[in-house]
Structure 1
Amino acid sequence: MKKVSKAAIVFLAVVTVLNYLPILLTVVYSFNKSKLSSMWEGFSLDWYRMLLRDGDIKKALLNSIILAFSACVLALIIGVSAALAMRGKKLFFDDFISNFASLPIMIPEIILGMVFMAIFSYMNLPFGFVTMTIAHASFCVPYVFLIVRARLMGMDSSLEEAARDLGASELETFRDVTLPYILPGIASGLLLSFAMSFDDVVISIFTTGPSVNTLAVKIYTKMKTGITPEINALATVILVITVLIIFISEKTRKD
């Protein structure tokens, strides 16, 4: 076994601290009794109680959940359909399609937001829940498509052939053989898409309307007046939810 150098360990420790120390401080100061995040005056749950009583936060949270659910379901339909359609196809532009499908992941969100805003303005679509759902689903599709396609590529086609030889129809073969096999990939893509949509700020700002406000955008607007322990408490709650969703997604994908 190759021995790891001390320099590599120190570098890894420094990078870890720089990445996770701000997150840790956010969680710690969400329990701060003081109104100033820079001063610690004792442990308190007052900011979480205030958060529970905030009607605007509750409305924004409900909007975020509905938006994320709608976007990930739409992305699921498109992504799974595309993965199934490309399965077994050995076309000369197969790699191009796969790389093209992953573009929304690689393109900066501010560029995507500007593009969506321009397209929706050109189409005269009223900015609001519909435009946000379309935009969120668009950048969530690649996650579903790539995960489900990878799952399909690892599937033994002889399983489906055996089912058809035993008299199963195409629909029955998909229901009893293909779907159970790709279900972990579908669940993983669904959960990951939900988390990405729920946390999105940049694209939401470009595509939202005056009547719709998501939780992530609400946090961003609150931070303009300064970071308060209530924002830290809200960020902590979102952090816990996001970590749980991603953990379940990764656990499902590996299974």
Structure 2
Amino acid sequence: MARRGISPFNAASLLVGFAFLYLPIAILVIYSFNASRLVTVWGGWSLRWYGEFFNDRAMIEAAWMSLRVAAASATIATLLGTLAAVALSRGERFSGRTLFSGMLYAPLVMPEVITGLSLLLLFVAIGAERGFWTVTIAHTTLTMCFVAVVVQSRLTSLDRSFEEAAMDLGCDPLRAFLAVTLPLILPAIAAGWMLAFTLSLDDLVIASFTTGPGSATLPIRIYSEVRLGVKPEINAICTLAIGVIALVIVVASLAAKLSGARAESAAPL
């Protein structure tokens, strides 16, 4: 059969698409090493603005706040999302399953403005002081459904005969799940945690509704700085954030591949 090469039109379309997606990011990364104080004027290569960032106490505190919120919310969301995925995949007939799944997956399609406003009204109604924990709860609400989707898809494709064999050998259902199923879905759980961490780290809309004085996250801080004009330091901060998120995505992809490889090796011949 003759091999069909890519047509010039398809190649040009692919090139334009990639340029539209990644050229602005590439320009931002390049200009983060600009020695000039003017963002649009190239003044040579320099690490000056990275040093400015690490000497900016307010930015460092905002970055540390974002990392703490992302780690805490991702951990809680992973725990709750995994339990929800187990309930949906192992309890096909329990009453209220449709309502439960609908409420669980609602943040996937709900506009973030509505989610943030509703959480703000809730925190005001109960008199909660807005800060670290309110942002963490809000991000947990946002990211838990993503974890549930990832883990549930892995559980659905998993052969339940492994658990049944373990129970035939004397394990109770809980021990069979912990000894057999959990190691097989662990890469999916790790991928869900990394996805939740990335979503929390990037969020601006929901955090702006639920944060309080002295607890601004890095996206909020960057947005407030950009409103007064883009500084070269912002390019350096965004480049570091891109690097962190890219690393998380790579690790999540490797975890997903590891999960698939384990499933293939564990499948009966």
Shorter-chain TM range is over 0.9
Equivalences for 1:193-208 in 2 at 5 Å? 193-208=196-211
Aligned-residue offset at 1:125: 1.6
Q: Does 1:148 align with 2:151?
A: yes
Residues 162-203 of structure 1 deviation map (CA, whole Å, 9 limit, x = unaligned): 111111223321221011011011000001100110111111
Cα distance between partner residues in 2 of 1:90 and 1:110: 33
Cα distance between partner residues in 1 of 2:110 and 2:253: 23
Cα distance between partner residues in 2 of 1:66 and 1:175: 29
Equivalences for 1:216-235 in 2 at 5 Å? 216-235=219-238
**What secondary structure does 1:31 align onto?**
coil
Aligned-residue offset at 1:107: 2.1
Residues 54-112 of structure 1 deviation map (CA, whole Å, 9 limit, x = unaligned): 11122111111111111111111210111111223334975665455332122222222
2:177 corresponds to which residue?
174
Greater alpha carbon shift after TM alignment, 6-15 vs 96-105:
96-105
1:76 corresponds to which residue?
78
Cα distance between partner residues in 2 of 1:72 and 1:189: 8
Q: What is the number of equivalent residue pairs in this alignment?
A: 255
**What secondary structure does 2:90 align onto?**
coil
Cα distance between partner residues in 2 of 1:78 and 1:2: 48
Identity rate, percent: 37
1:125 corresponds to which residue?
128
CA contact (8 A) 2:62 2:221 kept: yes
Change (3 A) 1:219 1:253: same
**What RMSD over aligned residues (CA atoms) do the two structures have, in Å?**
1.8
Amino acid at match of 2:163: E
1:7 corresponds to which residue?
9
Structure 2 unmatched ranges of 5 or more: 259-269
Structure 1 unmatched ranges of 5 or more: none
Name the TM-score, length of structure 1 as normaliser: 0.94
2:88 corresponds to which residue?
86
Cα distance between partner residues in 2 of 1:51 and 1:161: 55
Cα distance between partner residues in 2 of 1:236 and 1:111: 30
Cα distance between partner residues in 2 of 1:158 and 1:145: 22
2:22 corresponds to which residue?
20
1:240 corresponds to which residue?
243
1:41 corresponds to which residue?
43
